[in-house]
Amino acid sequence: MRSKTLGLSPIAVLALAALGAPRAIAHDLGLVGPVVNALLVFLPIAVWLVVVLWKRVPNPFLTLLAVGVAYGVLLGVTHQVLWSASFGDDQPALGGNLAGALSPAMEAVLLRTFAFGSSVLTGAGVGVVAGVVGWVGARLLPAARR
């Protein structure tokens, strides 16, 4: 079922967002070098743009923002699941005046909460940038078809 507002079904939005998950996994586990990492960063966003422009969604900005937020949530979940594998014995900790101010459990909750929020904000930011590019592309596309 296609959303009238987004021009794509919720499943399609989630599928597009999921294209970014391999990069998060590869990053957290240190599996790839800079070239492959760059491909894993930019290829999914290019696919998002192609799909949105090809489908001629009513509002590319809003659609890509939704994809970006969904990507951010998936990014946050991935980072949480791979937290221990990513950091190993060198777990993040509060420093400076906050070092030792909280119990280890509270410190972990605080750090993980902020890490998750940061992931969602990162995804939303990617969605905003992609959305602007998509909006401009949608405006230019009709002119190129004349």
| pLDDT bucket at 141, cuts 50 / 70 / 90 | confident
Token pair for residue 29? Answer: 């586990």
**Core vs surface per residue 51-71: b (16+ CB within 10 A) or e:** bbbeeebebbbbbbbbbbbbb
pLDDT digits (tens, 9 = 90+) for 71-83: 999 999 999 999 9
Q: Residues 46, 73, 85, CA angle at the centre, nearest 5°? A: 100
In three-state secondary structure terms, 93 is coil
Token pair for residue 28? Answer: 């957290």
Q: What percent of the chain has pLDDT over 70?
A: 97
Q: At what angle do helices 60-81 and 21-29 cross, to 10 degrees?
A: 30
* Cα–Cα distance measured from residue 69 to residue 24, given in angstroms and rounded to the nearest whole number: 15
What's the pLDDT at 146? 41
What's the pLDDT at 143? 64
pLDDT digits (tens, 9 = 90+) for 79-96: 999 999 988 888 888 888
What's the pLDDT at 102? 86
Token pair for residue 116? Answer: 């998750």
- Mean residue pLDDT across the chain: 92
SS3 sequence of 41-89 = HHHHHHHHHHHHHHHCCCCHHHHHHHHHHHHHHHHHHHHHHCHHHHHCC
What's the pLDDT at 74? 98
Residue type, 63: T
